[in-house]
């Protein structure tokens, strides 16, 4: 759902690296900003991370074995960049909860607005590693093996973080009911 | 997928869409164009530098051959050129940081991709030269602890004792503690891992007390 290699193949990439990167930018920028924003909380930082990922993609275009793997590269690059920002921010200052401007509005639709708001706030309050696992598992649809590889931890560690996260979120939901 | 997982996936997707909805694509495209222009310019600089170096090498070889002249014995193979030295480790000194320090970055960190961010409490460098992999190097200055139950006037020796105590209790696993000096000040290199977050175990930087974190090795 989040842009796969197959989806990328469906629209042919221009041959010039710069045109190809620009093409990918127009097709994936918003989605990647959404992904980064789930991890870093504010849109400005998220955009900075995603811009950096596209710049890195352009810089390393010649090293890509398959240009159609660029979307996977971007996903991973955005996740790495977001994690780096969060770690840096933890060194700088306490991790702020998002301000009112980036929090979901009361008029949110889809899930019941207030339920979604509560769920997203609960996700943001999870410990950093648990939150990363939740976003990679339920937003990017990655498997436990892939998450373990991306985060550089064992599969058992991913299972543990996922269990703790869903357990905590389940308890929060039961408390609301 | 359980009901919770299903609701979680939906909530995350809707939240991401909403956060991305307000993106100004025109402004974002302009920013990207600027960044790609910058990459192109820096590439040209490297190409020019490479061409100049190659030209200089050709001139030097020409001069050496000319100096040898006709007496040069063609049967003697020319001395092999020394192997090109691998990119040397770069030494970075940070004038803003107090106390001042210099850091030796690994040789595989290409200087052109290293960004230095400086303040008087932390400095870091990021290299994303390997596709999709970033490495962070940082130096932080931690002030005395203000964590629960710890004396904010904690001394250096007391902090080391605190870390050893955490190690003896099994809260953290210390694999190395080596005394050293930094700019003449006594210091200790510590390698430690933890399976759980140890709140406020490191100290305070920029007003924030730091944790030892699980799944992250600390040195």
SS (H, E, C) B1-14: CCHHHHHHHHHHHH
Asked if A125 and A33 touch (Cβ cutoff 8 Å), the reply is: no
Tell whether ipTM is more than 0.85. no
Question: What residues does B125 pair with on adjacent strands?
Answer: B116, B137
When pLDDT is averaged across residues A50-56 and rounded to a whole number, the result is: 92
B132 pLDDT band (50/70/90 cuts)? very low
pLDDT of residue B105: 66
pLDDT of residue B83: 30
d(C-alpha B71, C-alpha B65), whole Å: 10
Q: A153 vs A37, which has greater pLDDT?
A: A37
Tell me the backbone φ, ψ of residue B94, rounded to 5 degrees: -115, 110
Q: What is the pLDDT of residues B19-72, one digit of tens each?
A: 888 888 988 998 898 888 877 776 654 444 444 444 444 444 444 444 444 433
Asked if B132 and B191 touch (Cβ cutoff 8 Å), the reply is: no
Residue A150: cis peptide before it, omega within 30 degrees of 0: no
Q: A27 vs B103, which has greater pLDDT?
A: A27
Tell me the backbone φ, ψ of residue B152, rounded to 5 degrees: -65, -15
Asked if B163 and B188 touch (Cβ cutoff 8 Å), the reply is: no
Select from A67, A71, A92 the least CA-distant residue to A27.
A71
When pLDDT is averaged across residues B197-211 and rounded to a whole number, the result is: 61
Contacts of B4 in chain A (CB under 8 A): 166, 169-170, 173
3-class secondary structure, B108: coil
Q: Is B3 on the interface with A (CB under 8 A)?
A: no
Select from A62, A169, A71 the least CA-distant residue to A120.
A169
Q: Is B180 on the interface with A (CB under 8 A)?
A: no
Q: How much of chain A, in percent, has pLDDT values that exceed 70?
A: 77
Contacts of B9 in chain A (CB under 8 A): 138-139
Q: What is the DSSP letter of B143?
A: B
A25 pLDDT band (50/70/90 cuts)? very high
Q: Which of A60-74, B114-128, B160-174 has the lowest mean pLDDT?
A: B114-128
pLDDT of residue A150: 85
pLDDT at residue B193 above 60? yes
């Amino acid at each position: 759902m989040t842009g796969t290699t197959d989806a990328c193949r469906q629209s042919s990439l221009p041959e010039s690296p710069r045109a190809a990167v620009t093409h990918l930018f127009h097709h994936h920028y918003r989605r990647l900003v959404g992904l980064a924003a789930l991890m870093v909380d504010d849109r400005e930082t998220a955009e900075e991370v995603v811009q950096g990922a596209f710049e890195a993609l352009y810089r390393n275009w010649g090293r890509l074995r398959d240009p159609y793997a660029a979307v996977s590269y971007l996903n991973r690059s955005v996740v790495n960049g977001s994690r780096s920002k969060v770690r840096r921010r933890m060194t700088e200052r306490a991790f702020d909860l998002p301000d009112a401007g980036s929090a979901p509005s009361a008029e949110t639709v889809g899930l019941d607005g207030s339920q979604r708001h509560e769920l997203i706030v609960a996700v943001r309050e999870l410990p950093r590693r648990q939150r990363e696992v939740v976003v990679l598992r339920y937003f990017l649809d990655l498997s436990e093996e892939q998450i373990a590889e991306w985060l550089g931890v064992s599969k058992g560690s991913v299972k543990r973080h996922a269990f703790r996260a869903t357990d905590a979120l389940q308890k929060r939901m039961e408390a609301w009911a | 997928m359980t009901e919770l997982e299903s609701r979680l996936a939906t909530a995350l997707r809707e939240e991401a869409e909403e956060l991305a909805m307000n993106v100004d694509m025109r402004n974002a495209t302009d920013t990207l164009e600027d960044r790609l222009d910058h990459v192109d310019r820096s590439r040209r600089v490297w190409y020019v530098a490479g061409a100049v170096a190659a030209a200089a090498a050709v001139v030097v070889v020409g001069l050496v051959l000319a100096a040898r002249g006709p007496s040069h014995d063609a049967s003697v193979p020319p001395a092999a050129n020394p192997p090109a030295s691998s990119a040397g480790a770069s030494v970075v000194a940070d004038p803003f940081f107090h106390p001042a320090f210099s850091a030796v970055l690994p040789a595989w960190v290409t200087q052109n991709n290293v960004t230095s961010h400086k303040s008087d409490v932390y400095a870091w460098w990021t290299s994303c030269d390997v596709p999709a992999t970033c490495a962070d190097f940082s130096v932080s200055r931690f002030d005395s602890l203000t964590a629960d139950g710890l004396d904010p006037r904690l001394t250096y020796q007391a902090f080391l004792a605190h870390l050893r105590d955490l190690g003896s209790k099994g809260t953290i696993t210390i694999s190395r503690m080596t005394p050293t000096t930094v700019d003449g000040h006594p210091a200790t290199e510590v390698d430690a891992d933890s399976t759980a977050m140890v709140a406020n175990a490191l100290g305070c930087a920029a007003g924030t007390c730091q944790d030892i974190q699980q799944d992250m090795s600390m040195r």
